[in-house]
Amino acid sequence: MRKIQMIAIGVIAVSTAVWAHDPPDEVRNAVQFPPGLEPTIDGDCSDWAVVPGDQYWTFTEDLFPLHGHETEGLGRGENDASSFQTTYRVGWSASTGQLYYCNSVFDDRHVIDRPDSYDWYNDDSNEYFFTTRHLSEQEVRDLLETNVAAYWGFNYALPKLPDGGFWMVIGMCIGCEWLDNGDNEWYTLVHGFEGEEFGESTYHYEHRIQPIDSWTSGLGEDFGPSDITPATLSEGQIIHITFGTNDDDGARADGSQGGGHWSSSSGLVGGTWLGQGDYFLEPINPSINWPEVATSVESESWGRIKAQF
């Protein structure tokens, strides 16, 4: 169902491809972490708190309802705040060359109960997509015709299913342990939560990502790490990210799912699965009150002091 729907949106997009980026005419800033101040990937977003959120982060009021779900017909940001609220934080580091996000989701009821591993969008889940090159959807599609995939994405629902089914699906190599294990050279993903694990809670999803320029599609099970071309990030570059978050609150009397399906992409341009939101990779912002970075000498001294106990 989902795939069919996405294809239908894609067809519509051909006539509106001139808009290219989604939401049109909106560019968000990805904060640059000074060397040594990159976030610790531990499912706790508190190490992002030094960045002024009102200047950088994307909140629920900025999100668009996805077509074909309970949210159909609602306007931008017209969510039920008692059921679903998000904060999407994005940063990068010129020192490590990595991309980072730490996203928080408040939910009145956290549900993981889908019968099929692949139906992650029927649980409380995230569908995040990236394109490092500044390409329009049509340009991405044209490249795909030559087996060059310039986009990639992570679909996941946490905690993992009790039966051990897929918790993460990465389109480039579905079910490949070397890529889907949650911690490898390409990314580290850790989640945490406050409140009740399957009740009212705020979940935090913290992710380090090695940016990818492209990967070779059509290889099936023969796909390996050497089929991925990493990308180098630079100050002033614009990359693409689309965040989508699904809120499942379990079966309701009226058959609805709950808070529904929300995206940082308007869907007007199509291709929400390609990553189409513009993010500007900022220089280091000197007006942010960055903490002091411990020097290696200090770290060494501290190591020696600790070693004495």
**Positions that interact with Ca ion (CB under 5 A):** 39-40, 42, 44, 47, 83-84, 107-109, 111, 124, 206, 247, 249, 258-259
What's the token pair of residue 3? 């795939």
In angstroms, what is the minimal distance from the CB of 275 to Ca ion? 23
Spell out where the chain has E strands: 27-32, 58-59, 64-65, 84-92, 99-107, 125-131, 148-149, 151-157, 168-169, 187-195, 201-209, 212-216, 228-230, 238-247, 260-263, 277-281
Judging by beta carbons within 10 Å of its beta carbon (0-12, 13-18, 19+), is residue 83 exposed, middle or buried?
Answer: middle
In angstroms, what is the minimal distance from the CB of 107 to Ca ion? 4
Please identify, using beta-carbon distances, which residue of 107 and 278 lies nearer to Ca ion: 107
Please identify, using beta-carbon distances, which residue of 61 and 235 lies nearer to Ca ion: 61
In angstroms, what is the minimal distance from the CB of 56 to Ca ion? 16
Q: Which amino acid is at 34?
A: P
Phi, psi of 183 (to 5 degrees): -155, 105
In angstroms, what is the minimal distance from the CB of 112 to Ca ion? 9
In angstroms, what is the minimal distance from the CB of 225 to Ca ion? 26
Please identify, using beta-carbon distances, which residue of 199 and 224 lies nearer to Ca ion: 199
Nearest in space to 257 (alpha carbons), one of 59, 78, 83: 83
Distance CA 294, CA 299 (A): 6
Distance CA 292, CA 289 (A): 9
DSSP β-bridge partners for residue 30 = 281
Judging by beta carbons within 10 Å of its beta carbon (0-12, 13-18, 19+), is residue 44 exposed, middle or buried?
Answer: middle
Please identify, using beta-carbon distances, which residue of 19 and 290 lies nearer to Ca ion: 290
Please identify, using beta-carbon distances, which residue of 53 and 175 lies nearer to Ca ion: 53
Placement of tokens 């979940």 in the chain: 203
Please identify, using beta-carbon distances, which residue of 19 and 198 lies nearer to Ca ion: 198
In angstroms, what is the minimal distance from the CB of 108 to Ca ion? 5
> Does residue 132 sit in helix, strand or coil?
coil
Distance CA 234, CA 181 (A): 28
Residue nearest to Ca ion (CB): 83
In angstroms, what is the minimal distance from the CB of 48 to Ca ion? 7
Please identify, using beta-carbon distances, which residue of 123 and 278 lies nearer to Ca ion: 123
Distance CA 276, CA 45 (A): 25
Distance CA 287, CA 34 (A): 12
Please identify, using beta-carbon distances, which residue of 44 and 227 lies nearer to Ca ion: 44
Distance CA 133, CA 234 (A): 12
In angstroms, what is the minimal distance from the CB of 45 to Ca ion? 6
